[in-house]
Chain A
Amino acid sequence: MSWLTDPLGYDFVLRALAEVVVMGATCGAIGAYVIVRRLAFIGDAISHAVFPGIVLAYLAGLSIFGGALVAGLITAFGIALVARGGRIREDAAIGIFFAAAFALGIVLISTRQTFQGDLTGFLIGNLQGVSAGDIAISAAVGLAIIVVLAAVHKELVLVSFDRTLASALGYPVFALDALLLVLLTVTIVVSIQAVGIILVLAMLVTPAATARLLVDRFVPMLLLGSVIGAAVGVAGYYLSFHLGTASGGTIVLLATVLFVLAFVASPTHGLLGRRLRRHPQHAGASPAVDPPTGHQHG
């Protein structure tokens, strides 16, 4: 058991574990919306777009967290605004903002050699360097996100499932969309320190997608995604500690392994499960499930 307990003797390990639990749980929860609303690409754009915000804040000696948040929000709403006109589709708008923001970050960083050492932490994450203050911020933000998600839960699910009904019932559809984008941006910004810009998207998408393969209800999906996020965070960190590998990358790879397992072996949605249902003699009394019907003209 010493491989489990020995690392706990170090303070930086305890801090890193606390951070990955908070980050994994928050990403897993908001990830449920990323999956059902198909926000993965926009999340990717936001996570890259915070980069110039971080560099500018660093240049100006301002809060890096604040710089990242402002840059992320500008990107999220810039995309929404350009795509809303209808002339440019959302995927193109995302591509434009994504590339422009990241290019701006690279140009800024190239102006001074000294940046590179200081700022690469944000690209690949730096769990070892997490401070008690960082954890407090992450925990407070994570808690606030959970409270907001719970408070407007049914309205967010309604607008996600059926925008037309939500509008018809007089719900503020655009305000609810904007709220979701803000929550997503805030989650990305607080997670970047732990796993880095490149990998934050994986923590938003992979645990939630794994959960979706295992359950067919939204709330269980959100909770399970949250648990998976926290669990792969802890297990991945341990792995990286013993293997001497990069912690962010190890966590994401472990999450991916879990996803592949669920994709193959999920009782309801996995490849094996489907095969068993197609040949019921192998699966005992497994009930036949109607295929989802898209178009049936009768």
Chain B
Amino acid sequence: MCGVRNGSGLVLQGVSAGYGAGLVLQDVDLAIPPGTLVGVIGPNGSGKSTLLKAILGLAPETGGTVLLDGRPVAEQRDRVAYVPQREAVDWSFPVSAEQVVMMGRYPHVGWLRIPGTSDAAAVRDALDRVAMADHGSAQIGALSGGQQQRVFLARALVQEASVLLLDEPMTGVDQTTEQLIIGLLRELRDGGTTILHATHDLESAAEVSDQLCFVNRRVVAYGPPAETFTPPILHSTFGGELLIVHEGEHTHVHGGGHHHGASDQ
């Protein structure tokens, strides 16, 4: 891919991953330069989440290599931040928003040490950036869906990572939060962060992202929305699962429908 020089940015070479017997993802080759906002789209179970987890080194039986600026990600895990799918979080856990954000600082803090004033300042700053400064002491489960998502985004911010992975960040959030997340992602992208966000909302992905990565067990297509958001590519990614909804003058395209509580692999 163009734009990647001297191996800078995120490079995936022959990455395969899966759970149990079947491979969920096969032979993924990608080269994403720094400062790129990538929308990862595909039907349910197509391997969107697995792709993100493979980059994190958390997908089981991962084959191939994932390099960040020429070195394996496994050697520099603190440079990758991750915002999990909402279903993966135990919202009843007795922890405040502030404390959740602080967890992103733990690698900076180190073992046998307690967070210092600079860590507390980073947490305050991150909560401020997601407009949650007033809710720092709230128990995480008492917040609304959008507020919870912003807290997890703040946790990724304090990691000061070079790569940011988000799994369905817009699912279950309000309009304000969606706009805020999009604004922040663009800001981080402009600051040189490589961002991959998995999403069901094809139109929003096409509108927001610099590049689209179409996934269905393999990478079907990768490129700018103008070149890839086309009926043939959409069809070969989604097959019969594509849903086109006419709503007044607007036409909406949905991939894979909405999933309720089901974990997407």
Contact = CB atoms under 8 A, between A and B. Distances in A.
Contacts, number: 103
Interface stretch (B1-9, B171-179, B220-228, B232-240): B171-179
Nearest to B112: A151
Which of A168, A290, A294 has most chain B Cβ within 10 Å? A168
A280 to B, nearest CB: 16
Interface residues of A, number: 33
A282 interface: no
A149 to B, nearest CB: 13
Nearest to B77: A170
A158 B106 contact: yes
A169 interface: yes
Interface string B174-209: 110000000000000000000000000000000000
Interface in B62-88: 77-78, 80, 82, 84, 86-88
A60 interface: no
A292 B103 contact: no
B175 A298 contact: yes
Nearest to A169: B107
Nearest to B260: A295
A294 B107 contact: no
A63 interface: no
Interface in A124-174: 151-152, 154-155, 157-158, 160-162, 164-165, 167-171
B103 A293 contact: no
Given A164-B58, A169-B107, A170-B77, A292 B91 contact: yes
B77 A293 contact: no
Contacts of B90: 36, 161
B258 interface: yes
The 4 A-B residue pairs with the shortest CB-CB distance, nearest first, are A292-B141, A216-B139, A296-B145, A296-B172
Interface of B: 20, 56-58, 77-78, 80, 82, 84, 86-96, 99-100, 103-104, 106-107, 109, 111-112, 114-115, 139, 141-145, 148, 155, 171-175, 258, 260-261
Interface of A: 36, 86, 151-152, 154-155, 157-158, 160-162, 164-165, 167-171, 212, 215-218, 221, 289-290, 292-298
